[in-house]
Amino acid sequence: MNSKEIIKADTVLVNAVVYTVDKNKSTAESVAVKDGRIIAVGSNEETGKYISESTEVIDLEGKLLLPAFTDSHMHPARCAYPYFFQIQLRGVFTKDDYLARISEFVKENPDTLFYEGGGFQRSAFDEVGPRKEDLDAIVSDRPMALDSVDGHSIWVNSKALELAGITKDTPDPPGGVIKKDPQTGEPSGLLTESARGAVLDFLPPVSKEQYKESLLRLQKFFNSVGLTSCHDAIVTYDPEYYNAYEELAGEGRLTVRYRGSWLITPEMVGGGEGQSADFQPEMSIDEAVARGLEISKSFATPYWQVKSFKFFVDQVIEEETGFMKEPYAHRDDNWYGIKVWRQEFLNETFRKIDAEGYNLHIHQIGDAAASYGLDAVEYAVNKNGKRDSRHTFVHVQVIDDADVKRMAELGMNAVIAPYWSVIDDYYWDLYYPYLGPARAFNSQYPGASLMKAGVNTSFHCDFSVTEPDYGWALYSAVTRTQPKKVFKMEKGPDAAAAVRTTDHSVELKPGMVGPLGSPNECMTIEQAVEASTINGAKADFLETEIGSIEPGKLADMVVLDRDIFKIDIEDVAEMKVLRTFFEGKEVYSS
């Protein structure tokens, strides 16, 4: 072939508003794609030379074209099966509605041997949490276990407690709490963190085919919101789990590109703060790391790779298990939360993983957790030498300015959820009393300051904690409050009487919905788009492949129904995805 002959495109998108998210924030009019990759970006005239009789030309009629979205932390396989096939409590927010959903499911599935599901909000209950008696009234002869929406606690009936051997005399395990009825001392029906394990051990296993079926259903939803790349933050050593991804990838059936992290816990390997000296772990930390490394080598496609290890350095504030520098404000026992790991063990573990060239994916909620977690990352870097490691803090709910600076110096990622940076019922019912007014308002969920410090900052929804919705994510990143549609959904019939504001100068009172913290933490719409595209790609070392619309990159792109850079921010929340392209192939069309 003549060296000057122009390659003809498979697809050319014309008459678009192309926001490339390249380093110059360039805009263009047209994109040409060949064999799944972008071969040209420019004007209609410039890409016209790539059109042949066989080229599909798609006229976008002035619509906005962006890189497809990324999500840097979620639980796709773990949550997809219960999301589609078990008791689903999402979308309702009161105890009565939860019980109605549960009753309906039990009536429709009378032969189920162990009822599972989840999605309840902790803010719908008091400090003790939901009660076993409410579930017993629905089903008492078979066990039931329901995950909270954040996955840090389970609501169980008496049969599940009996099966697990949990009584009023059962002590709290290290790193967990068995909630007790304050009058009787009996287990109330809520198990948090490691205390869940006594029941989870009895859950029926999910098969590889069930994982595969639910992942295929899930990716249709993800593609419909413009999502084509995700990070599975809890990959287990169960072959049924990780081989579900591997088989779908090998079969060419994935339209979402997955990266993942092997889960390591003190229950698996020891090293936990407060664990007894005679605790017998499932395996040594060396065995756990070696197993993850070996299995990772077998993943043969770019659609499913596991290149990091997941650690919790604390848990969550709503269960009083986030690890804080100042005690919880609503308690009088000087309670600081749960420190998950012994420092020396974590230091050496991080060193070993970093020495292998793998990434650390670290759940961090409290400021004390951030400090000791960063101490361990620094230890690893100092011992092994600095490299482009991009170790990650996920959630970053409360963190000191000094530790943000340390994150930047260590070249770390911050993975944040703009969906949660809001004053809402969750704030008033849990964070406000637990942290105290000043800490709850001023210290939670930094946004723009992370970017300003030089920390690569990307977004996550923590599915199924929150469903991915990029109109919502972009809106809340810019305003730090709820969009109208979410406010109306969560308030339901009470929305007309409730108060919502976007004004940072308004003094908020209990029950009101409004902006969280300083307006200095509000991102620009351009920053929010970067966080949900190119920065997510960088978090998983994929920025040379995806995250921007540039020649040579894979053609992962999304068409929106409005130009989010030119409209009122209130309208951004209402944006709709019209088309999604995964490696040049249209995988969703409205």
- DSSP characters over 410-466: TT-EEEE-GGG-EESHHIIIIIHHHH-HHHHHHSB---HHHHHHT-EEEE--TTTTS
Q: In degrees rounded to 5, what are phi and psi of residue 121? A: -90, 130
State what percent of residues in the chain have pLDDT above 90: 89
Three-state secondary structure along 289-322? HHHHHHHHCCCCCCCEEEEEEEEECCCCHHHCCC
pLDDT of the residue at 67: 98
Helices (H), 140-230: 158-164, 197-200, 208-224
Pairing of β 144-148 and β 153-156: antiparallel
pLDDT of the residue at 4: 64
The pLDDT tens digits of the residues spanning 537-590 come to 999 999 999 999 999 999 999 999 999 999 999 999 999 999 999 999 999 999
In degrees, rounded to 5, the angle at the alpha carbon of residue 73 between the alpha carbons of residues 71 and 75 is: 105
The answer, yes or no, to whether residue 364 has pLDDT greater than 70, is yes
Closest to 546 measured CA to CA, from 578, 586, 583? 583
The pLDDT tens digits of the residues spanning 242-289 come to 999 999 999 999 999 999 999 999 999 999 999 988 899 999 999 999
Instruction: Provide the pLDDT confidence category of residue 496 given band limits of 50, 70 and 90.
Output: confident
Q: Can you give the pTM of this predicted structure?
A: 0.90
The pLDDT tens digits of the residues spanning 68-124 come to 999 999 999 999 998 888 998 988 889 999 999 999 999 999 999 999 998 898 888
What whole-number distance in Å separates Cα of residue 52 and Cα of residue 90? Answer: 49
Separation of CA 46 from chain center: 40
Q: In degrees rounded to 5, what are phi and psi of residue 342? A: -75, 140
Question: Maximum CA pair distance of the chain?
Answer: 86
What whole-number distance in Å separates Cα of residue 97 and Cα of residue 118? Answer: 13
Pairing of β 514-515 and β 17-19: unpaired
Q: In what order do the strands lie in the sheet with 11-14?
A: 37-42, 30-34, 11-14, 56-59
What whole-number distance in Å separates Cα of residue 255 and Cα of residue 504? Answer: 40
Could you tell me the CA-to-CA distances from 341 to 62, 206, 314, 316 in Å, in that order? 53, 29, 8, 15
pLDDT of the residue at 124: 87
State what percent of residues in the chain have pLDDT above 70: 99
Q: Are 310 and 361 in contact (CB under 8 A)?
A: yes
DSSP β-bridge partners for residue 263: 310
Whether CATH 3.10.310.70 fits 114-200: yes
The domain locations on the chain are: 11-67+545-589, 114-200
The answer, yes or no, to whether residue 379 has pLDDT greater than 90, is yes
Quick one: fold of 11-67+545-589?
Answer: Urease, subunit C; domain 1 (2.30.40)
What whole-number distance in Å separates Cα of residue 217 and Cα of residue 239? Answer: 21
The answer, yes or no, to whether residue 318 has pLDDT greater than 60, is yes
DSSP β-bridge partners for residue 515: 422
The answer, yes or no, to whether residue 193 has pLDDT greater than 90, is no
H or E, element range at 136: helix 132-136
The answer, yes or no, to whether residue 402 has pLDDT greater than 60, is yes
